[in-house]
A and B are shown apart, each in its own frame.
Chain A
Amino acid sequence: MPVRVQADPFDLGAETAAFAGAAGGAGAVVTFTGLVRDLPGTPLSVMEIEHYPGMTERAITAMVAEATARWSLTAVLVIHRHGRLTPGEAIMMVATAAAHRAEAFAAAEFLMDYLKSRAPFWKKEVTGQAGAWVAAKDSDESALKRW
């Protein structure tokens, strides 16, 4: 399945190796991994990621279809977690495979830009007893204009 939305952690190395092994004769594989950051100053204890079951899978599948239509990709993988994550844990990964690197990089960036502001996830940073919803950035919205 090219799109997986899950609470469980994933093994970045194993996923990347499996993806590259089944990339259909591609010459280039690009992967991006997003991690839970530690906040400067205040130690983050937990990041809670909420999502919209059903719409999430549907929205990401549509992004993958769009990427596949724009670039000649031999394979695509998107894994995105939800639930409670701690600093250093992987939140998500994108992998793209193509004959040459330019297409694989472009498709991975396209998918990242869309995942940021068009996939229905919401992050909450919990420090101690207090939780704060992460606000969307204007720069994330304007990043979509380049596509």
Chain B
Amino acid sequence: MIDVLYFAWVRERIGLPRERVQTQAATVADLVAELSAREDRYAAAFADTASLRVALDQELADFSAPLAGVREVAFFPPMTGG
């Protein structure tokens, strides 16, 4: 089981802030493919991963990164702090 978090318009498009996901996905990209296949709202949120960022256990990562040992995955748009 892995905790998957969504922020900003990703959260709005999917319709929830977080969920627990049962997955065997090897990488972030595999997880994105699994989620996108579930329902249209996921496919819409993940349509353009170039416009998304991902964090694994609260550290920025790449979509090619492995998920082994990861407890928390977060998807969000580019950050706008400051």
Chain A positions near chain B (C-beta within 8 angstroms): 34, 50, 52, 54-55, 58-59, 80, 91-92, 112, 115-124, 133-136, 141
Chain B positions near chain A (C-beta within 8 angstroms): 5, 7-9, 11, 55, 58-60, 74, 76-82
Which chain B residue shows the least CB distance to A117? B79
Which chain B residue shows the least CB distance to A122? B8
Establish whether residues B58 and A54, one from each chain, have CB atoms under 8 Å apart when the complex forms.
yes
Establish whether residues A123 and B80, one from each chain, have CB atoms under 8 Å apart when the complex forms.
yes
Chain A interface helix/strand/loop/mixed: mixed
Contact of A112 among B58, B74, B79, B82 (CB under 8 A): B82
Q: Report A-chain residues with C-beta under 8 Å of the C-beta of B5.
A: 52
Q: Report B-chain residues with C-beta under 8 Å of the C-beta of A141.
A: 78
Residue contacts A-B, CB under 8 angstroms, 16 given: A50-B7, A50-B11, A55-B59, A55-B74, A80-B81, A92-B81, A116-B79, A117-B80, A117-B81, A118-B81, A120-B74, A121-B80, A122-B7, A122-B80, A133-B8, A141-B78
Establish whether residues B8 and A118, one from each chain, have CB atoms under 8 Å apart when the complex forms.
no
The distance in angstroms between the C-alpha atoms of A52 and B17, with both chains bound, is: 11
CB A84 to nearest CB in B, in angstroms, measures 15
Establish whether residues B55 and A55, one from each chain, have CB atoms under 8 Å apart when the complex forms.
yes
The answer to whether residues A119 and B81 also contact, given A52-B74, A52-B76, A124-B8 and a CB cut-off of 8 A, is: yes
Q: Report A-chain residues with C-beta under 8 Å of the C-beta of B77.
A: 122, 133, 135-136
The answer to whether residues A118 and B60 also contact, given A52-B7, A55-B55, A133-B8 and a CB cut-off of 8 A, is: yes
Q: Report A-chain residues with C-beta under 8 Å of the C-beta of B80.
A: 116-117, 121-123, 133-136
The distance in angstroms between the C-alpha atoms of A83 and B82, with both chains bound, is: 14
Q: Report B-chain residues with C-beta under 8 Å of the C-beta of A59.
A: 58
The distance in angstroms between the C-alpha atoms of A136 and B74, with both chains bound, is: 18
Q: Report B-chain residues with C-beta under 8 Å of the C-beta of A50.
A: 7-8, 11
